[in-house]
Amino acid sequence: MNKDEIIKALANIKDPDLHRDIVSLGFVKRVEITDHKVDVDIQLTTPACPVRDEMKTQAANEIRRLGFKGDINIVMSSQVVSHNNQTREQILPGVKNTIAVASGKGGVGKSTIAVNLAASLALDGAKVGIVDADVYGPSLPLMLGVTDKPETERIDEKRFKIYPVEKYGIKMMSIGFLVDTETPMIWRGPMASGALKQFLTDVIWEDLDYMIFDMPPGTGDVQLTLVQTIPLTGAVIVTTPQDVSLADVRRGIRMFEKVNVPILGVIENMSYFVCSHCGQREEIFSHGGGKKTAEAFGVPFLGEVPIYTPIRVGGDIGKPIILMEPESDQSQMIQTAARRLAARISIADMTQSEKPKIQITV
């Protein structure tokens, strides 16, 4: 058995989203053989790859089929692909992907989903930031349990550098960090838009794989400001199953389409409720509307999240459910949605970039 045979065998492994083998995609970075050991380095496009473990197992199996009886060491790493755009690079240097988490109406749990998506991606090893773009009703300080003020550094008489607050491995910025919790944000649209722009231009974000924007509900000034300031990698739409929410979702999807922002997927929140005493499932807000809407618009359905009391508790005490109960079924559903989102981002980024060159160390 030689290196060429191993590489040929590894070409049998296909990326299910990119529909190409991992060798032609350039994922195989190193193959080394000694008398009793094979070392293979495989680098994926995100640490949140939903088929990471399956690929590792399949790689070992492919080498075994060649008749190798020694030790096989498969090292899985990742390098998040960047959404290549010069404008974004100028405004947010080092931030690879920007994702708006939006909803057509309020009350669907958009902020809860945004925070848990950020926490899930960070838990998988990604460098994550989150911006509380809902300047009228900031919820990030409460939902992530942050009371610290961001550190600042004066540039000149009028300008400051702002350093994001960090917790749970997530860098974050919210107007709620800068004003008293009891202070109402009685601002006109341009003031809210100006605050969002400052979060983009004056905050020192440094290197991030994913920056998530927790958007205000609807299709107003803040949404337009964001899409006009930086080209987004894409948007995630959060909905509940009932018709009144889905009607607003359709408007939200059309809004993003008109400003050329790809829809990365739809998540159905409050999808159903399971009684903790009798186990009976109740579809309080109907069920399946999010998936049907996604199919109607030809966009991915990322998953559903049920009503579950600890999700609400986590938001109230500042510890997302994905961190508070990582092994629960509900956390696994959120993690699956986050990994599907990461996969959609990789597909979008790989599609727009040049075909990667195969670089294998032999």
Q: Would you place residue 186 in the very low, low, confident or very high pLDDT band (cuts 50, 70, 90)?
A: low
- Residue 307 corresponds to which tokens in the numbers above? 């009503």
In a domain, 314, yes or no: yes
In a domain, 202, yes or no: yes
In a domain, 360, yes or no: no
DSSP secondary-structure letter at 356?
P
- Residue 285 corresponds to which tokens in the numbers above? 């807000």
pLDDT in tens, 123-144: 999 999 999 988 777 889 999 9
Residues 91 and 215 reside in one and the same domain? yes
Residues 119 and 201 reside in one and the same domain? yes
Residues 270 and 190 reside in one and the same domain? yes
> Greater confidence, 189 or 156?
156
pLDDT in tens, 246-258: 788 888 888 898 8
Please state the separation of Cα 147 from the chain's center in Å. Answer: 24
Residues 70 and 107 reside in one and the same domain? no
CB 267 within 8 A of CB 102: no
Lowest mean pLDDT among 55-64, 226-235, 276-285, 341-350: 276-285
- State the residue range of the domain holding 178: 86-352
pLDDT in tens, 261-315: 999 999 999 998 888 888 888 888 778 888 888 888 899 999 999 999 999 999 9
In a domain, 159, yes or no: yes
- Cα torsion for 47, 132, 270, 16, to the nearest 10°? -20
Residues 37 and 145 reside in one and the same domain? no
In a domain, 64, yes or no: yes
Q: What's the number of domains the chain is made of?
A: 2
Residues 164 and 22 reside in one and the same domain? no
Q: What average pLDDT does this structure show over 3-31?
A: 93
CATH number, domain of 131, equals: 3.40.50.300
Residues 39 and 105 reside in one and the same domain? no
Per the prediction, the chain carries an average pLDDT of 87
In a domain, 102, yes or no: yes
Q: Which of 42, 62, 78 is the last residue of a domain?
A: 78
- Residue 289 corresponds to which tokens in the numbers above? 């509307």
Residues 192 and 262 reside in one and the same domain? yes
Residues 194 and 241 reside in one and the same domain? yes
Q: Which of 47, 78, 109 is the last residue of a domain?
A: 78
Residues 8 and 54 reside in one and the same domain? yes
CB 171 within 8 A of CB 95: no
Q: What average pLDDT does this structure show over 172-197?
A: 71
- Other beta carbons within 10 Å of 17: 16
Residues 242 and 100 reside in one and the same domain? yes
Q: Which of 78, 108, 130 is the last residue of a domain?
A: 78
pLDDT in tens, 153-184: 877 776 778 899 999 999 999 888 877 666 55
Residues 67 and 103 reside in one and the same domain? no
In a domain, 198, yes or no: yes
**In the prediction, which pLDDT does 6 show?**
94
Residues 185-190: contacts with CB under 8 Å, at least 24 apart: 185/135, 185/136, 185/137, 185/138, 187/135, 187/136, 189/220, 189/221, 189/222, 190/221
Which amino acid, one-letter code, is at 277? H
CATH number, domain of 26, equals: 3.30.300.130
